[in-house]
Amino acid sequence: MTATAQPRAFEPLVLDFLAYLEFERGLSRNTLEAYRSDLLQVGAWMRPRGVDVMSATHADLAAFLTDLATGDPPERAPAANATLQRKAACLRSFYRHLRREEILDHDPTADLRAPRKDQRLPNVLSRDDVARLLAAPRGTDPAALRDRALLELMYACGLRASEAIGLTLADLDLEAGVLRAAGKGSKERLVPIGREAVNAVRIYVERGRPAFVGLAPEPHLFVNQRGAGLTRQGLYKIVQRHARAAGLDDRMSPHTLRHTFATHLLAGGCDLRSLQEMLGHADIATTQIYTHLSADRLKDVYFAAHPRATVAH
């Protein structure tokens, strides 16, 4: 903090930072809410320790992340790697903002890194698993047609849950076999749609969706029984219901379809840059996790098939 500056209340600084992220960086509402929660958690952690957020040191912030990683206090579960990385990124962004606004004259997060825990690769379905899941919505009633189209499209395009429920009719070009997805930070990308997904969506739009929306001018592609846009909770319930029917509920979430899409594409010969574009990853390092998934699959096949592999394995 500069010599002439006085300590400022933490909450107004957080609000100013969030406004900057929303209006100048265009970050999504979900990201803004996550950052708000992260910063309030930092404040709550520091308060009983007698640390002022404005005068916090690198050691203070590193200790905060370490406590999260180890689950301190003991009644709290250790934070996942992705959560730790997000919180570290939030802190770096927040303190850079304070430095840029000349509220601080130093940045305690310059070399801040989240502690790494053993990385757990995401669950991925086999091709047979996917076939069972996509066959789970049975019948021709509107809900079954919707659920089949939703699952087909999420697997065909590697959509995040927020992207799937945010799709509008205008985002689809079924003739060209492509959709426009609004990803993180409102960044749009075009993703090809496979033939099976195109057929499932076309049938839903023609025979299922009208039963939900009637003549209402609802723009969202996927809607609930009342004709309103599907919520994240609604999507989760649909995925879980059909995962249970397919015997996959113990290792299945909406994001599992995205991981499976990426792994199957890479195993089929898709190059990493193209996969990065289809997933909407800003950094190819994020996409590279799927090379590890494919390597694990190759090892499974190798050790199951090679007659002399069991000794070394």
Catalytic entry in 87, 258, 259, 264: 258
Catalytic entry in 58, 189, 255, 297: 255
Q: Which residues contact 263 (CB under 8 A, 6 or more apart)?
A: 124, 290, 293, 294, 297
Q: Give the separation between CA 208 and CA 79, rounded to whole angstroms.
A: 41
Catalytic entry in 87, 146, 160, 259: 160
| 258 included as an active-site residue | yes
Q: Which whole-number Å values give the CA distances from 185 to 32, 92, 172, in the listed order?
A: 10, 18, 20
| 106 included as an active-site residue | no
| 35 included as an active-site residue | no
Catalytic entry in 184, 202, 232, 241: 184
Q: Which whole-number Å values give the CA distances from 236 to 83, 85, 232, 249, 254, in the listed order?
A: 20, 25, 6, 12, 6
User: Computed from CA positions of residues 257, 212, 173, 220, in that sequence, does the dihedral angle turn out positive or negative?
Assistant: negative
Q: Which of 158, 193, 141 is nearest to 264 (CA)?
A: 158
| 20 included as an active-site residue | no
Q: What residues are labeled active site? A: 160, 184, 255, 258, 281, 290
